[in-house]
């Protein structure tokens, strides 16, 4: 007598579970991970802030440095600042950019702002009190040579063993991708802006 669709489904699920269980059993290393979100698609910062919310939910001490954003208020900035009383002892949040480079039109000013942001980030990366550090749009600062790549790589390599770091922004340098533990490239398929729809609060801002 032939097997039913439900029996086929159960057998496939059992094989899948056995495979996943073997992979979980092999993953024995417990340490901080370096996550890089890059690519031209939407979602790089959103993912980083999702991990921030997750980390705070686990009681982690967290730090955020935003390298480019700063000339306008974003929803994530408003939310985490409004939740300041709840997270005051566990979240250090810095918005240190001066806006998009086509707005500032001043390379030296952009470099100065990026290096000031990097000084804060470098301090966080050397401090074992921080469990999770989000360096939002650092890839852009690296791509435009505002911040020395070798200095960033050295700080990441020397960071506390248990510290998790997420770096976002398009154009992640190859050397950073090489040392990262998890790299996701967001691929642009469609974007509302190209259809003439302005950036929306809650979606882009």
Q: Give per-residue pLDDT as tens, 107-142.
A: 888 899 999 999 999 999 999 999 999 999 999 999
Confidence of residue 100 (pLDDT cuts 50, 70, 90): low
What are the two backbone dihedrals, phi and then psi, of residue 169, each rounded to the nearest 5 degrees? Answer: 120, 145
Side-chain-facing half-sphere of 35: CA atoms under 13 Å:
22
Instruction: For the chain, give every domain's residue range.
Output: 31-195
What would the mean pLDDT of 189-197 be, rounded to a whole number? Answer: 83
Q: Does position 104 have pLDDT exceeding 80, yes or no? A: no
Whole-angstrom distance, CA of residue 145 vs CA of residue 139? 10
Which pLDDT value is given to residue 81?
A: 73
* Homologous superfamily in CATH for domain 31-195: P-loop containing nucleotide triphosphate hydrolases (3.40.50.300)
Whole-angstrom distance, CA of residue 121 vs CA of residue 134? 9
């Amino acid at each position: 007598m032939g097997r039913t669709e439900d029996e086929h489904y159960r057998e496939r699920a059992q094989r899948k579970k056995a495979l996943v269980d073997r992979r979980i059993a092999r993953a024995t290393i417990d340490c901080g991970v370096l996550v890089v979100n890059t690519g031209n698609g939407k979602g790089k910062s959103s993912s980083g802030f999702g991990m921030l919310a997750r980390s705070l939910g686990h009681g982690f001490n967290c730090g955020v440095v935003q390298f480019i954003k700063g000339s306008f208020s974003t929803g994530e900035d408003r939310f985490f600042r409004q939740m300041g009383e709840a997270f005051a002892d566990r979240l250090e949040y810095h918005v240190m950019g001066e806006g998009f480079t086509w707005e500032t039109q001043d390379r030296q000013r952009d470099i100065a702002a990026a290096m000031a942001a990097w000084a804060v980030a470098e301090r966080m990366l050397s401090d074992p009190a921080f469990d999770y550090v989000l360096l939002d749009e650092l890839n852009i600062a690296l791509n435009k040579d505002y911040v020395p790549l070798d200095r960033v790589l050295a700080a990441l390599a020397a960071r506390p063993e248990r510290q998790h770091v997420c770096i976002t922004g398009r154009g992640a340098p190859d050397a950073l991708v090489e040392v990262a533990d998890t790299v996701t490239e967001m691929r642009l398929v469609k974007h509302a802006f190209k259809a003439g729809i302005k950036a929306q609060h809650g979606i882009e801002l």
